[in-house]
Amino acid sequence: MTWTRTSTRTLPVDTAALWDVLADIESWPRWDPDLARVVLRGPLTTGSRGFFHPTGRIRGRGHSLLADDFTVTACTPGSEIAVRQPIPLGHMDLGFTLAADGDGNTEFTQHITLHGPLRTVMVWIIAGDVVRNFDRKCSALTGLATAKAGHHPQ
């Protein structure tokens, strides 16, 4: 009873600069059009908890009223962040990985899996947009990481 999708793109940006942007979970709405606000309760580490405030009047309000906190299920500095968000009768796993390609670029991968009997409904409510917006996320992440890298001394 799962639904899963993986999206990958090579981004023309340094892995360390991209990690700096990705690791700032509370700033995810700057590059993720599906999020209006994110609250992380404590430092970013495996086991940390937080709350997503999705975009959209209905989706955002419903989630804010009914959802539980997400849990960071993996955090490997420089290469991986994964979170688990409870959904009705199941959960959503969302993960991002980074891998340097040796030419100064970064392979960015998004993996999303929905578990549970309501997964088809949850694809319609949120997961479909998570996948459809991957290109927008990549463009925004590239811009933010490029700007961040421009401020790093060489």
In the numeric block, which tokens belong to residue 17? 């600069």
The pLDDT of residue 63 is 67
Count of C-beta atoms within a 10 Å radius of residue 109? 16
Provide the domain limits for residue 13. 2-150
**pLDDT tens for each residue of the chain, 154 residues long:** 788 899 999 999 999 999 999 999 999 999 999 999 999 999 999 999 999 988 877 776 776 777 899 999 999 999 999 999 998 888 889 999 999 999 999 999 999 998 887 767 776 666 667 778 999 999 999 999 999 877 544 4
The pLDDT of residue 129 is 77
Query: Cβ(50)–Cβ(39) under 8 Å?
Result: yes
Q: What share of the chain is helix, strand, coil (3-state, %, to 5)?
A: 35, 40, 25
Question: What phi, psi does 70 have (nearest 5°)?
Answer: -85, 160
* Domain CATH code at residue 64: 3.30.530.20
Quote the number of domains for the chain.
1
